[in-house]
């Protein structure tokens, strides 16, 4: 079972991640927010392609039922995932938030 302490430790171990308040949550971001932790530190939200995770582990992952969910926002119940599962999910969300590196040798069309 993962905890909020595990969530924070894993998220901050991902390169370039910073933590800052975001409304009633703590946000974890690189270029943009990829995860938030609720104030009560029980659920967390991740931004990633969630359909497979929600299908394979519906007790742990759920699509947020609003426009954010349509864009990938997914709730994870920390008490229902292992630290390894949490790391894998955070790494996917982090990867989607990392800015793409510019291609070498490309000429800008400005």
The model's pLDDT over 53-109, given as tens digits with 9 standing for 90+, comes to 899 999 999 999 999 999 999 999 999 999 999 999 999 999 999 987 765 655 555
The CATH number of domain 4-97 is 3.40.50.300: no
pTM as predicted: 0.86
Confidence of residue 5 (pLDDT cuts 50, 70, 90): very high
Please report how the helices 83-97 and 4-13 are oriented relative to each other, as an axis angle in degrees rounded to 10: 40
Q: Which residues of 2-41 are buried (b: 16+ CB within 10 A; e: fewer)?
A: bebebbbebbeebeebeeeeeeebbbbbbeebbbbbeeee
């Amino acid at each position: 079972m993962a905890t909020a302490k595990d969530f924070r430790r894993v998220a901050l171990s991902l390169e370039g991640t910073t933590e800052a308040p975001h409304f009633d949550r703590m946000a974890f971001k690189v270029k943009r927010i990829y995860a938030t932790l609720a104030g009560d530190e029980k659920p967390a939200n991740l931004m990633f392609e969630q359909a497979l995770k929600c299908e394979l582990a519906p007790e742990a992952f759920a699509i947020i039922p609003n426009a954010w969910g349509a864009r990938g926002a997914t709730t994870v119940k920390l008490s229902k995932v292992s630290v390894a599962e949490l790391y894998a999910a955070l790494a996917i969300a982090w990867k989607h938030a990392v800015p793409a590196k510019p291609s070498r040798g490309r000429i800008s069309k400005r």
